[in-house]
A = this chain, B = another copy of it.
Amino acid sequence: MVLNKLDIPKSLKESMLYSIEAGGKKLRPILLIASFDAYGKDKQKIVAPAMALEMIHTYSLIHDDLPAMDDDDIRRGKPTNHIVFNEATAILAGDALLTYSFDLLATDPRLTDEQKIFLISELSKASGPKGMVAGQMLDMEAENKKVSLEQLERIHALKTGELIRFAIKSGAYIGNATETQLTHLDEFAYYLGLIFQVQDDILDVTGDQAIIGKPVGSDEDNQKSTYPKLLGYEGAVEQKERYLQLAKKALYNANADSSYLMKLTDYFSARDH
């Protein structure tokens, strides 16, 4: 892991590595690689983008778990970063992972200048105030409020969807997909993100804490708007099926060697953690 080699303060490195290595599913890098595989060959080119993406995702989890945010003590079955270290270190580890992801992209010798700028521009948009951070803000503001299905979709499209779109789009871009293919893939990624979130909400109702690695029912405790709350359990499952059909249609239109992406889509829809 590239972070191991950094000459940085020991406690900062330990805190960054703790969350990166906490046994997450690495779904976003896997999606990026799968999307690349559908078009391209030279896998060396996607090492840095996949790592940068996972660092951004991990930073967002560290900050989301802070007492001032979701106040979660457990993540991926382990104590959260601020519990193991302390709040100040967790804030800095998050800031460090976020910032270092752009350093990594800007200096990777396997990427062309044009690719670096595409990736940095897309990743900063997907994760910044127009993307993930906006979703987190809207999600917080929606607590204890009744939101519509449309508002719920918007929150999730920003909070989790934008990084999933980045994964799919940037993998295919580096694999030299055409503009038309990228457009269809982007639609696919949009629905994939929603599938991911519906299933997340469903698992928070029906899941097994030992498998999920975080407490079940925390959405209810936090008065969060969820698909099951809005549509009922059956309604949420039906909604997920609708998204699944739309995702598969868009993937078919993207005209890719997409059997792996198709499998991942089914996995996203049926996952138990």
Contact = CB atoms under 8 A, between A and B. Distances in A.
Interface in A22-70: 59, 63, 66, 68-69
A101 to B, nearest CB: 8
Interface stretch (A117-125, A167-175, A184-192): A117-125
A212 B164 CA distance: 45
A106 B129 contact: no
Given A68-B87, A98-B99, A16 B129 contact: yes
Contacts of A116: 117
Nearest to A89: B137
A112 to B, nearest CB: 9
A225 to B, nearest CB: 16
Contacts of A105: 120
A9 B117 contact: no
A234 interface: no
Contact of A129 (B8, B68, B113, B117): B8
Contacts of A107: 121
Contacts of A130: 6-8, 103
A8 B127 CA distance: 13
A133 B96 contact: yes
A88 B140 contact: yes
Residue from A87, A94, A99, A107 having most chain B Cβ neighbours under 10 A:
A99
Number of copies: 2
Given A87-B68, A88-B68, A137-B92, A99 B113 contact: no
Question: Which among A69, A92, A95, A98 has the greatest number of chain B C-beta atoms within 10 A?
Answer: A95
B99 A124 contact: yes
A12 B136 CA distance: 10
Nearest to A3: B129
Nearest to A105: B120
The 8 A-B residue pairs with the shortest CB-CB distance in the complex, in nearest-first order: A68-B87, A99-B128, A103-B124, A96-B129, A106-B121, A102-B124, A8-B129, A113-B113
Interface of A: 6-9, 11-13, 16, 59, 63, 66, 68-69, 86-89, 91-92, 94-96, 98-100, 102-103, 105-107, 113-114, 116-117, 120-121, 124-125, 127-130, 133-134, 136-138, 140-141
